[in-house]
Structures are given as structure tokens and as C-alpha cells.
Amino acid sequence: MLHRITIDKYERNTVLTIRKTERSDTGKYKLVLKNSSGTKETSADGVVLGKPARPEGPIQVVDVRAKKATIKWKKPADDGGSPISHYALEKMDMVRMLPILRDILHRIRKTYNHSRWYGNRVKNGSKS
């Protein structure tokens, strides 16, 4: 991290810059100022926002009925620094799906319905 930090000193202030921040840079930062008059300490919380991690798998289809299904998953390990406000479950017709979309699906659970195979994926959304 040290190679990403610059400290610019001016006549009346000093600027600390952290470039290319990462989620792991989130934490408490301690500032210690020293001069001939003494020492002063303070701290500040640094929060780096990012994209939430994917919901944890496996995705489980626990109950399938004629018009509904119950699907369970675990919350993501990292919420991106902001509470997750919702999840979106996408259903995709596996017969008509474009080949490139197959690589995008993180976790596929197949459910047989009306002679077609469907893939499901869960995405989350945050308030920020």
C-alpha cells in the first residue's frame, strides 16, 4: 500500500492521498502530528465503497410447486461497504440463451418446466 500513498505538505495544510483504493483499505486511520510544541493524535474511519461480492452458494431450490419455487442462498461475504437492499433472481431459458451468457452465470440450478431447462442466478443490489 505504501507505493499508493503520497503526502503533500503546504504552508497551511498537508494532504494525504491514497491512490487506487481497494476494499481492504477500509479501516481506522491514525494521524500523529508532532512539532516543537508537542504531539497531537487523532483517528478517522476510512471507508472504501465497492461492488458487493456475489451471494454465497450453493443456490438451493428447496421447494418447487406448480406456480412458485423457494430458493435459498447465503448473503455475500462482502457487502461492498453499503447494506444490500435487495436481490434479483433472473430466470433464463437455457434453450434460447446466447452462448456468451453461459459464461456470465455464476451458479446454475436447472429446473425442469414445460419441456425446457432454465438456469437461475442471484444478483444483489446496494443502496449506494
Residue 38 has pLDDT above 90, yes or no: yes
Residue with cell 425446457: 116
Residue 53 pLDDT class (50, 70, 90 cuts): confident
Domain spans of the chain, in order of start: 2-46, 56-126
Residues in a beta bridge with 88? 123
Separation of alpha carbons 54 and 48, rounded Å: 18
Distances (CA, A) of 115 to 1, 12, 17, 94: 54, 73, 58, 11
Return phi, psi of residue 82, to 5°: -140, 140
Band of pLDDT at residue 121, cut at 50, 70 and 90: low
- pLDDT recorded at residue 41: 95
C-alpha cell at 100: 456468451
Q: Do you find a cis peptide bond into 58, omega within 30 degrees of 0?
A: yes
Average pLDDT, the chain: 76
Q: Which residue has the higher pLDDT, 102 or 127?
A: 127
Is 95 within 8 Å of 114 (Cβ atoms)?
A: no
Q: How confident is the model at residue 128 (pLDDT cuts 50, 70, 90)?
A: low
pTM of the model: 0.49
Provide mean pLDDT across the span 113-128. 55
Average pLDDT over residues 24-40: 91
Percent of residues, the chain, with pLDDT higher than 70: 70
What does residue 47 show for φ and ψ, rounded to 5 degrees?
-120, 120
